[in-house]
Amino acid sequence: MSETVTTRFAPSPTGTLHVGNIRTALHNWLLAKKSGGRFLLRIDDTDVARSREEHVEAIRADLAWLRLHPEREERQSARFAIYAAAFEKLIAAGRLYRCYETAQELELKRKVLLGRGLPPIYDRSALKLTEADHAAKAAAGEQPHWRFLLDHDAPIEWLDGIRGPQHFDPRQMSDPVVRRADGSWLYMLPSVIDDIEMSVTDVLRGEDHVSNTATQVQMFTALGAPVPRFAHEALLTGAEGKLSKRLGSLGVSEMREQGIEPEALIALLARLGTSDPVEPELDADALAASFDLGRFGRAPARFDDAELARVNASVIHRLPFAHVAHRLPEGMSEAAWDAIRPNLSTVAEVADWWRVVTGPIDAPEFDDETRAFLREAATVLELVDWDLTEARQEAWSFLTSNLKQRTGRSGKALFLPLRQALTGMDHGPDMKALLPLIGRDEAVRRLGLDGMR
């Protein structure tokens, strides 16, 4: 039986998702989608003091807006019994041990080692404690924290999906603390236990987790489980290098307020970190089909909100009417959407352009010669049989060709006053598409300058 590719996104509900989190979620979704696999959501809420239920709801809502629907959701706060069972298994195997140093004592040890030019690795002094020592500390009310015992005789290696072959010497690593003295869990061990229980086959995350992976590889082995495939992406940077605090905290709610479409965000983030061009793509399945970890480099991935705005505009220019109908002004037709959308950078702007169609508009003040020209245009437009669809669709061409013959005007002198009188604007949608939306009677009124200056 072939393996089902299973990925997971594991945010902590201590805040809302930012652009870096969103990229991680998307890439895990794309990796699973490409193989017909499973994308899972794990809420890492073991930090009870900082986790908030409103952040859990926001994470779910953000993923739903992006249409990244997980097939399964787990919450670490509901899985403590599972962790405790694995914890006891590792104790029995001799892979966990009790320690009592305070934070101040550990910091002093670090400074001493650094002062000697040595790496600040934990010295495993707690392994020398006898059962009598442990009993004495318990009698004195001291509670231990627990460390995972790295196997110094087992070099740590894996083939990273982005970074290539990785090699770590466990002798150059500190045994990580996995459980605090108050019984609460740190990230490392519960994450491994969850990946085993949830049958995760591929762990795709940021390069800041590489050292964590080195430790976790041994944890998988100690628990008798296969090691997943790991891939570590370069972190995002801003347009000027370091990712600014604003971009680093830019969340889905802010993007929605700015008028960013989910398709635009997905199209951009799916390609960041590769040399592939970023193109507007409405079909997430197509993006998934072309998703390839081998295309990602190790250089920092540059996030540019100006590029996001460009992609967003391109996406909007492709959005079909049915996709946005519920967000458009009342009475706006598919023909109106098709005419106006090439001028939009956000869907919200459509309301301003729709007012150009429905009126009233604020046309500029024209000189006498131009006013006479526009009245001539009104006379010509009245000749169009508006009941005939073809005549209505060709009304702009009929109007401009006749005016050119009658007045001798051409180019800007012909077209600009007409656009200004009909829309109050110097630029905008194609007048051939816009004029039928305005309607003959309203257009004649505007060209006749009724109610205008």
As a whole number of angstroms, the distance between CA 253 and CA 118 comes to: 47
pLDDT tens digits, 120-148? 999 999 999 999 999 999 999 999 999 99
Topology adopted by domain 83-179: Glutamyl-tRNA Synthetase; domain 3 (3.90.800)
| Per-residue confidence (pLDDT) for residue 243, from 0 to 100 | 56
pLDDT tens digits, 30-50? 999 999 999 999 999 988 888
pLDDT band for position 283 (50/70/90)?
confident
pLDDT band for position 97 (50/70/90)?
very high
pLDDT tens digits, 103-113? 999 999 999 99
pLDDT tens digits, 115-125? 999 999 999 99
**Residue 57 clears pLDDT 80, i.e. is over it:** yes
**Residue 53 clears pLDDT 70, i.e. is over it:** yes
| Per-residue confidence (pLDDT) for residue 449, from 0 to 100 | 67
pLDDT tens digits, 352-383? 999 999 989 998 999 999 999 999 999 999 99
- The pLDDT mean for the chain works out to 93
**Residue 167 clears pLDDT 80, i.e. is over it:** yes
**What does the buried/exposed string (b/e) look like for 267-298 if buried means 16 or more CB atoms within 10 Å of the residue's CB?**
bbbbbbbbeeebebbbebeebbeebebeebee
As a whole number of angstroms, the distance between CA 232 and CA 230 comes to: 7
| Per-residue confidence (pLDDT) for residue 452, from 0 to 100 | 42
pLDDT band for position 302 (50/70/90)?
confident
Which CATH code of 1.10.10, 1.10.730, 1.10.510, 3.10.590 fits the domain covering 359-447?
1.10.10
pLDDT band for position 450 (50/70/90)?
low
% of the chain surpassing 90 pLDDT: 83
> Residue range 330-337: average pLDDT?
94
CA angle in degrees (0–180, nearest 5) for 371-372-375: 85
| Per-residue confidence (pLDDT) for residue 265, from 0 to 100 | 94
Residues with Cβ < 8 Å from 441, sequence gap 6 or more?
Answer: none
Q: Which CATH architecture has domain 1-73+234-318?
A: 3-Layer(aba) Sandwich (3.40)
pLDDT tens digits, 203-256? 999 999 999 999 999 999 999 999 999 999 998 887 665 554 455 567 788 898
What are the domain boundaries of the chain?
1-73+234-318, 83-179, 321-357, 359-447
- Token pair of 231, please? 């891939």
> Residue range 71-89: average pLDDT?
97
pLDDT band for position 451 (50/70/90)?
very low
| Per-residue confidence (pLDDT) for residue 310, from 0 to 100 | 95
Q: How many CA atoms lie within 13 A of 232 on its CB side?
A: 17
